[in-house]
Structure 1
C-alpha cells in the first residue's frame, strides 16, 4: 500500500517577503496511519550509487546518478517502508526543493498519456528529492532534471513540486505519465497550491514558463483545450470537482483572505488565481499561521463557536491531525552564502508545534529531530503528536497555552539565529559547520524543552477538567 500525502504548498517571491529571501513551504500530510518523519543531512558519500524504488521497483540507470552529488538536507520517512521519501531540503549550492504536492488530473489527458501502473515501474513521491536535489546548482536546474527523469522513466502519480535559489522560485507540475509544465513565480507574488493541478495561465515561448517540448502540440492534436482563447493548464489538464470545492479550494481561499483581506470570493470557488499579491510583506510567522489554520473566525472552524456541527465538517482545514511535518525552505539574501540556507521545520499537527530555523550548511542534525519509528518521547516528533492529541480535547483551554509556547519558542530561536549570524562572521569550512551545528542543537533543544514545559502546563490545566472526578473530597 502506498503512503498517502495530501499537502498545502505556499511559495513567496523575494520581493514579497519581509526580509528579501525566497521562501517555499509545504505541510506534508498523510493518511490515517501515523508516518514518523525525521531530519537528516545527506552527505555525498551517503548518496546512493545505485537506486531502485521501493514502491515501483524502478531501477535508475547508473549514468543518471553519476554526477558528483552535493550534500543536502532531507526529511525522510524514518520507517523506510515506502522508500526514502525525502520530502524537502536545501543543498550545498543553496538550492531548495520541496516535493511533492499530490495534485489532480482528468480523463482527457489520461487517455493521451496515462499514468503508469506502479507494477510496471515509474517514479513517484518517494524518489524525487533523492534523485534531484543533490544534482542542482540553480532553481531552474530542477526543471531540466525532473523533465529528464519524467520523460525517461515516467510517473505513476500526479505531483507538484517547487525549486528555489536566492533569486528565483519555480513551481512544476507533472502532466500525465511523462509530461510536465512549470512557471516562474514573480518576485513580488505568492502562491497557494492545495491538492489540485494549480497552474492556470500558461504562455508558450515565454522565458518565465517551461514545459515538455511537445506539450503544445499534444494539446492541439488531441483537442484538450476547453477555452476559446489562451491556455489555462488547470482547465486543460486539471479538475473542477465537488471534492475540489470542499477539500482543496477552501484552503487556498482562506489563506488568500489572510494575505489580502480584499481577496473576497467564496470557499468553493473553482477558479481562484494561481499568482497573487499580498497587502503586506510576508514573514515566517505568517506562513506558520497559515499552515496551522483551521478557518478561525468562520463557521467552518472545528474549534469555533460560530458554525453548526455540519458546517464545522464542511471543508478540509490546513492545520490537521494528519500534518506530519511542515517546512519553510528559506534562501536569505542579506547574509553570506555560507549561512543563507535555512530549513524551518516543525513536526506533527501545526496547531501545537513550533518551527525551528535550522542552518543547512551542516553534516549532521540534532538528536531530538532524528525521529525513531516507534513512540519515543525523547524525540520531538512524538512529543508534538502527544501535545496535539491532548490539546485537541479542549482547544479553548489548551490553545492559549500553545500560543504562548509558540511565541516564546520562535522568539528564542530568532535570538539564537541572530547571535549565530554575527558570531560566525569570517569562519569557513569545518569550523563554520561546527558552529552552525552547535546553534542547530541549541535551537532544537530549546524548542524540545519548551514543548515539555507546554505538556506539563496542559497536564496542570487538564487535571481539574477530567470527567472522572468527584467534587466531594474525602
Structure 2
C-alpha cells in the first residue's frame, strides 16, 4: 500500500467556467513530514537509465521529447515520486492516488513485488513522452501490462480537450475512462470506476480484461460491468475513510444523490455540477473538513476522533490543480496551480508550466525545518492555526483569497503582455513574482496567528 493516500478531482472542459480541463490531486503522507519540491525537468535532466528504489525494476528510456513540471520528494532515497505536472506539449498527469482492490482479482493477477512499477515511477516514465491524454493512457497501460505493479493506484491525464481517469486492476491489468466533458469526478482512496463499456471509444483497458472477468466469474451482476463491484472493495473502512469524501464533494458541487448517506458505496462516479467549476470552488472542496455538517473535526474535543476522514488533513503534502486553458496562446495554456502543506492553511498559486526553472522558495525545499521555504512555512501556519482554529479561521480564509486575487491579477497582466509572444524566460520571471506574493502574504499571516496564540497562552496573570 502506498504511503501517499490522496484525493483526486477531475473536470471536463464544459464543466469549468472558462473551458479549461482540470486534473487536481492533493497528496498525503503518513503522520510525519515529507518535504516537497516544485521543479522543472528539462529533457537534458530526464534520466535515461532508470532504476526504481521500491523494486528491482530497470528500464532504458528513449530520448525524452518534452520538459515538464513536477513536485517530487525532497528526499529521493525512496524514489522520485514526481506526483503531478504539465509537459511542454500541454499534457498533464497526476500519479498516484492509492485505491482499493479485492482478493478475487489479486488471486488471479498477483502484484509484482519483485520488479514491478509503483507510484515512485509513473510520472517519470510517462509524462516526458506523451503528446495527448490518450497517449498517456496507452503508454502507462503498455508498461503495466508488460512489467506489472506492486500496488493499487489511480492516475489521471488531460490535454486541452480530454480528461482520462486510469485505475490499476491486480498486478498487470488496468482500465481507463474518459471523463465526460460536462462532468466532474471526485475520487477518494477506493476503486472508483463504476459502469464500464468495453465497446465505447471513451474507454480503454488491458487487452484481455473482459475475458479475464468472464472466464473467472468475477462479475456479480447479470447485466453490464460495474468495476467497483468486480474489482473494488466495500468495506467498513470505505464507509468511514473513503465514501464520505466523495459524498461531501458531490453534495457541495452537485450531481450526487440528495438522499445519499456519507458511507454509501454506490455514489456516482461522474457528476454534472450545479454550476460551472472555478479554481476557487475546487480549492474549497479540496480543503474541506465537512464544514456545515456535524462531522467537522473542529466540532469535537481535542484528541477526540471525528467519525469520517476528511480531505483536509495535517498529512496533506501538496495540492496541485493542473489547468489546461483553451482561450490563450499555446505557451500560456498550462497552469500548474500549487499549494504546499495542509490544505486548510495554504494558498494556491497559478504557476505557468512552460518555463525553464521554478521559484526558489518552492524549488529548494530542505529536508529539515526552514521556515523561509513554502513547504515549511505552511506547516508552521497549520501547527499554530490548528490550535486556535475558530479564532483564526477568518484570517486564514482572507489570506487565501488575498493570494488568489493578487496572483490572478499578475496572471491577467502577464497573459496580456505575452499574448503575441511568451518565452520560457518571461514566464519563469512571472512565476518568481507570483511566489514572492504568496511568500509575503503567508508570512504576514503567520505573524497574525502567532499574535493570536500569544494572547491565549496559559501563563498569564
**Which range, TM-score by smaller chain?**
over 0.9
Which of 275, 278, 281 lines up with 1:280 in the alignment? 275
1:48-447 counterparts in 2 under 5 A? 48-60=47-59, 62=60, 65-117=61-113, 120-260=114-254, 263-264=257-258, 265-304=260-299, 313-370=306-363, 371-428=365-422, 432-447=423-438
Q: Residue in 2 aligned with 1:19?
A: 18
Offset at 1:262?
6.7
Contact (CA 8 Å) 1:300, 1:311: kept in 2 or not?
no
**Deviations 1:425-449 (CA, angstroms, capped at 9, x unpaired):** 2224xxx111111110001110011
How far apart in 2 are the matches of 1:81 and 1:427?
A: 40
Look up the SS of the partner of 1:69 in the other structure: coil
**Alpha-carbon distance change, 367 to 269 in structure 1, aligned in 2, over 3 angstroms:** same
Look up the SS of the partner of 2:77 in the other structure: coil
Q: CA RMSD in A?
A: 1.4
Contact (CA 8 Å) 2:255, 2:271: kept in 1 or not?
no
How far apart in 1 are the matches of 2:65 and 2:34?
A: 28
**Deviations 1:443-472 (CA, angstroms, capped at 9, x unpaired):** 1110011011000111122221111211xx
Contact (CA 8 Å) 2:72, 2:82: kept in 1 or not?
yes
Contact (CA 8 Å) 2:17, 2:276: kept in 1 or not?
yes
Look up the SS of the partner of 2:97 in the other structure: strand
Contact (CA 8 Å) 1:47, 1:69: kept in 2 or not?
no
Q: Residue in 2 aligned with 1:35?
A: 34
**Deviations 1:377-405 (CA, angstroms, capped at 9, x unpaired):** 12110000000110000100111110110
How far apart in 1 are the matches of 2:434 and 2:257?
A: 37
Look up the SS of the partner of 1:127 in the other structure: helix
- Structure 1: stretches of 5+ with no match in the other structure: none
Report how many aligned residue pairs link the two structures. 459
1:463 has 2:446 as partner = no
TM (normalized to structure 2)?
0.98
How far apart in 1 are the matches of 2:269 and 2:255?
A: 17
How far apart in 2 are the matches of 1:261 and 1:183?
A: 18
TM (normalized to structure 1)?
0.95
Look up the SS of the partner of 2:297 in the other structure: coil
Q: Which moved more, 1:66-75 or 1:255-264?
A: 255-264
**Deviations 1:261-317 (CA, angstroms, capped at 9, x unpaired):** 87321100001010111110000001100110000111110113xx68899611001
How far apart in 2 are the matches of 1:112 and 1:253?
A: 32
Contact (CA 8 Å) 2:289, 2:310: kept in 1 or not?
yes
Contact (CA 8 Å) 1:160, 1:173: kept in 2 or not?
yes
Contact (CA 8 Å) 1:299, 1:308: kept in 2 or not?
no
Contact (CA 8 Å) 2:2, 2:151: kept in 1 or not?
no
Offset at 1:3?
5.9
Look up the SS of the partner of 2:119 in the other structure: coil
Q: Residue in 1 aligned with 2:43?
A: 44
**Alpha-carbon distance change, 393 to 151 in structure 1, aligned in 2, over 3 angstroms:** same
Contact (CA 8 Å) 1:103, 1:159: kept in 2 or not?
yes
**Deviations 1:121-145 (CA, angstroms, capped at 9, x unpaired):** 1110000000000000000001110
Contact (CA 8 Å) 2:2, 2:119: kept in 1 or not?
no
Offset at 1:68?
3.3
How far apart in 2 are the matches of 1:67 and 1:103?
A: 32
**Deviations 1:158-204 (CA, angstroms, capped at 9, x unpaired):** 01000000000000000100010000000000000000000000001
How far apart in 2 are the matches of 1:320 and 1:262?
A: 23
- Structure 2: stretches of 5+ with no match in the other structure: none
**Deviations 1:202-225 (CA, angstroms, capped at 9, x unpaired):** 001210111011000000111000
**Deviations 1:349-403 (CA, angstroms, capped at 9, x unpaired):** 0000100100000010000001111111121100000001100001001111101
**Alpha-carbon distance change, 310 to 72 in structure 1, aligned in 2, over 3 angstroms:** closer
